[in-house]
Amino acid sequence: MATRHAFFTSEFLAQLERLSLLSRRIFRGRVKGERRSLRRGHSVEFCDYRAYGVGDDLRYVDWNIYGRLDRLHVKLFVDEEDLCLHLIVDASASMDFGTPTKLDCAVRLAAALGFVGLMNLERVGVGVLRERVAEGWPPTRGRHQVGALVNFLGAVEPVGGTGLNEALASYATRSRQPGLAVVISDLLDPAGYEAGVRALLERRFDVHLVHVLAPEEMSPEISGDLRLLDRETGEARELSMDGEATRAYRERLRQFLERAEAFCRMKEIGYHRLTSDSSVEDFVLSQLRGRVLV
């Protein structure tokens, strides 16, 4: 737990402070924020004119134009609004694997993205997934919330089974307002995850999927007669790990990864993959920059 609370260096946090969240969709914020919206609003920054329509506020009519053209036009201004970042973290028992574990990698990544959101006065919420939405940190706004976010993420423990479809669908239904959703998971659920992700899309979330796997899963270095134990179900399986078994595993892993990429490409979802021993700092600054961050 102590290693999680260390999280990041001051140098990395300084780099994060220069970034902001990037969304491919426009969402109506609840309160004024620092995000320049494509919606037209009534801030202090003039943007354009348009013809007056029934119901428009007469305070924004440009009477100088009316005097010259004898037509009513209203002033438009750049609106600023906040975005809601939804950090959806898989904390099932399968995430407690690898060195460092997949969950350690997931919560550090979530902390980095949440830090960017809070520092830009966006709302940031967290959903912790197991067989269902086990717990959460409600969408909150303000730079002073960074410590509370880190403490919450640092306390997340890997336990229980995986039910990604049900948990993601439940999160989508319970969320009062869609936004930018970053799902961080190993996707190791026999029932799949696609229906849950589609539920987020149907609720108009802008979805990114971060696929976290342990280096031991990407390239297992085991051999001989083994007894493998499923961390979530407790099911045991006897296995002889020889060259043929290794080749079969690598082929099934390749198919698994290709299916995930193809699904995300078809649904226009951002797909990002990293191993748990990778540098979260490098992943954020290189892989996510221009796609989730700008």
Q: Within 10 A of 124 (CB to CB), how many other CB atoms are there?
A: 31
Share of the chain above pLDDT 90, in %: 63
In tens, the pLDDT along 179-204 reads 999 999 999 999 999 999 999 999 99
What is the predicted pLDDT for the residue at 36? 47
Structure tokens at 277: 């021993």
Domain 2-27+83-287, second-level architecture: 3-Layer(aba) Sandwich (3.40)
- Does 49 have pLDDT greater than 80? no
Structure tokens at 93: 């028992």
* The most confident of 2-11, 17-26, 109-118, 221-230, by mean pLDDT: 109-118
Structure tokens at 52: 């007056």
**Does 56 or 64 have the greater pLDDT score?**
64
**Structure confidence at residue 228 as a pLDDT band (50, 70, 90):** confident
- Does 29 have pLDDT greater than 70? no
What is the predicted pLDDT for the residue at 256? 98
What is the predicted pLDDT for the residue at 38? 42
Structure tokens at 258: 């290709």
Domain ranges of the chain: 2-27+83-287, 35-81
Closest to 200 (Cα-Cα) out of 176, 227, 173: 173
What is the predicted pLDDT for the residue at 46? 57
* Residue 132, CA distances (Å) to 154, 163, 192 in order: 20, 6, 14
In tens, the pLDDT along 198-209 reads 999 999 999 999
